[in-house]
Amino acid sequence: RLEDAIASYRKAIAIHSEYAEAHSNLGNVLNEQGKLDEALASYRQAIAIRPDFADAHSNLGNVLNEQGKLDEAVESYLRALAIRPDYAEAHSDLGNTLLGLGKLDEAVASYRKALAIKPDFASAHNNLGHALNELGRSEEAIVSCHTALSINPDFAIAHNTIGIGLKNLGRLDEAVASYRRALAMMPDLAEAHHNLGNALRDLGRLDEAAASCRKALAIKP
């Protein structure tokens, strides 16, 4: 009940305008609604009240990342980590942004820091796998993603990342099987439909490949 949540946070702020947590929580709900500029304003207000609010800095980074302001997002994550060096989620989110900037080795280092703090962080294991795939280290990527799946067996995106690694290694039939596992768990994962289409194309199964690409486009035009 997001609108009710927003109304409650706004009432809290009306009573106590310097309530940093309420501003930050309001930002979280606005972000969930896709109101990114309003979410940014709420996080910035929280930080203005409480400059050492690591969660607000990190959440601000998430919104900046979503807006494509990657350099600004990096700065926000670094501020969060200066305040709380053991903030595993901020290390991982920083890795995602560095990956988007093409700074692959730095992304790998950030994911490894997240995992040193929180070894059972399935998303960080998968994201590390994605970065390793981009670096051409697909054997390592597959191992990392299998670790993610040992933590969370229902992690569809990890199967998709494994599929990318297998395709990079020329193991196309196994890649197809991995993409199909991902889609059995998450049928609306457009990237997996697209990747499946690419693998099927390379196998010469063009009609199936075209059907997979059309499914990807139906989900994400």
Burial 7-41 (b: 16+ CB within 10 A, else e): eebeebbeeeeebbebbbbbbbbbbeeebbebbbe
Please, which pLDDT band fits residue 2 given cuts at 50, 70 and 90? confident
Contact between 201 and 209 under an 8 Å Cβ cutoff? The reply is yes
Q: List, for residues 185-213, the tens digit of each pLDDT value.
A: 999 999 999 999 999 999 999 999 999 99
Please, which pLDDT band fits residue 32 given cuts at 50, 70 and 90? confident
| pLDDT over threshold 90, residue 89 | yes
From CA 130, how far away is CA 108, in angstroms rounded? 9
Contact between 126 and 145 under an 8 Å Cβ cutoff? The reply is yes
Q: List, for residues 92-113, the tens digit of each pLDDT value.
A: 999 999 999 999 999 999 999 9
From CA 220, how far away is CA 201, in angstroms rounded? 20
pTM: 0.88
Q: Which tokens sit at 155?
A: 């992690």
For the chain, give the mean pLDDT.
96
User: How do the residues of the chain divide into helix, strand and coil, expressed in percent and rounded to 5?
Assistant: 80, 0, 20
